[in-house]
Amino acid sequence: MTVIYRQLIIDDISLFTSQPKSKYYDELFSHLRLDGIPDRNCAMGRYGYSRHAMICAFIVMKCEGFEYITDLVDYLNNNLLIAYYCGFDIRKPLPKYHAFERFIKNYDNDILRGLMEEQVKRLYEHGILDTSFIAIDSTPIAASTKQNNPKSFAKNKFAKDNQPKNDKDCKLGVHTASNQHNEKNYEFYWGYKNHIIVDCISGLPLFEYTTGANVNDGSVAPELLEKLNAVLSIKECTFIADKGYDCKQIYNTVKNVYEGECYIPLNKRGTKNPNKMPCGNIICDAGFAMHKDGKDKSGGRLRQKYCCPFKSSCDDTACTCAHKNYFNGKKNRGCTKYVTIPDDYRLSIDRDCLSFKQIYAMRTEIERYNSRFKQTGQERMWVHGENAVRNIASIAHIALLAVAQAAVVTRKCNSILSKKSLMRIG
């Protein structure tokens, strides 16, 4: 009789998985709509594993914060109830490592991004998401290569022509510790970037896209805004970004196309602020007030020209600092300086006012989301190839949105940003 009871205990898989966690995944997957995704291979041959189950399994991987696929395989084999909720037939052997690796490497990323778009639309219909205040930023993702290992003694690890052999798609990028213009704490890495647009009110993602690490942040922003607008209207939005996105194309796109407002700090780009008189005239190196000398429209910008007050003088001692341009042998002697006149939207923004500082402070919401995104195991990839990295990143966002959606449907709105909180009260 004791043997029979022992066998019954072993057969009851619910006894080997914590009940709050199993209920958490049950709710998570029951509200995740995968109906629009083909579940099986329609071509002739073996059906293979359920694609819905594979997607759910990788969502478990991101919710648990696993970096390695081997950790996911071990976790599912030790928690058969969760594997059952994913959609696997637990009466048969679960997928091995190579099955998961092939899936994440070959699966169409457009399907996963389409799933994320459907999640965003549903949360928008529930009133959770909004596009009034949106922020954009990028997160570095290091590739799985020895050249990213700080303990590696390989020569020329970050030379442009030294492409990693195990990942031909990764690119060379640079990551700084902060956005200060004089920041010297930076490091090179081989890998990718995940560009994210976040709703600053709810702290949830609206759109994401993964590129190589060598792609400039500002160059992809207009395209991402266009794709987001196709999902949710961003007309009259307030666009918030750091100084890495300080370029005229973004300002003009937000202002003219979407009728919005930009809150982006100026990127000085090595420019210097000259000393000026209270009236606005520049003070030269000798301490004299320079005179206005017309305007310059070259380079697609309008600049006020200032000239030396002694440019027509014949007195060689007039310039007390003996500037080299004062002895240039020309008719108009002395130095010349230019000041850009704010004739465009970018330069017309008052960045010292209180309203600008208050709204720009909302950008911290995307930093919080990036922190949650990294906690899913996204700082360094252990898969190879751009498509695999894109799929892993998309599933991480899908997992975080699925947590929010499950919290909304089950009326646990206090847990939309915390998977641990939702799992604890599951």
Q: Are residues 209 and 178 in the same domain?
A: yes
- Residue 272: per-residue pLDDT: 62
pTM: 0.80
Least confident piece of the model among 109-118, 251-260, 328-337? 328-337
Look at residue 325 and tell me if it is in a domain: yes
pLDDT at residue 355 tops 80: yes
The mean pLDDT of 378-387, rounded to a whole number, is 86
Q: Are residues 253 and 164 in the same domain?
A: yes
- CATH code, domain with 151: 3.30.420
Q: Are residues 222 and 363 in the same domain?
A: yes
Helix, strand, coil % in the chain, rounded to nearest 5: 40, 15, 40
Picking from 77, 107, 137, the residue at the C-terminal end of a domain is 107
Q: Are residues 250 and 375 in the same domain?
A: yes
**In which order are the strands placed within the sheet that holds 336-340?**
291-296, 303-307, 336-340
Categorize the per-residue pLDDT at 5 as very low, low, confident or very high, splitting at 50, 70 and 90.
very low
CB 404 within 8 A of CB 122: no
More confident residue, 17 or 123: 123
Q: Are residues 239 and 260 in the same domain?
A: yes
- Residue 89: per-residue pLDDT: 87
Q: Are residues 222 and 364 in the same domain?
A: yes
The rounded percent of the chain whose pLDDT value lies above 90 is: 34
Q: Are residues 261 and 377 in the same domain?
A: yes
| Domain boundaries, position 261 | 128-266+357-384
The rounded percent of the chain whose pLDDT value lies above 70 is: 85
Categorize the per-residue pLDDT at 13 as very low, low, confident or very high, splitting at 50, 70 and 90.
low
The model's pLDDT over 26-57, given as tens digits with 9 standing for 90+, comes to 888 888 888 888 877 544 445 678 899 999 99
Q: Are residues 224 and 366 in the same domain?
A: yes
Q: How many domains does the chain have?
A: 3
CB 308 within 8 A of CB 336: yes
CB 170 within 8 A of CB 192: yes
Q: Are residues 97 and 157 in the same domain?
A: no
Which residue carries 């987001």 as its tokens? 228
The SS3 call for residue 69 is: helix
Picking from 107, 141, 156, the residue at the C-terminal end of a domain is 107
Categorize the per-residue pLDDT at 1 as very low, low, confident or very high, splitting at 50, 70 and 90.
very low
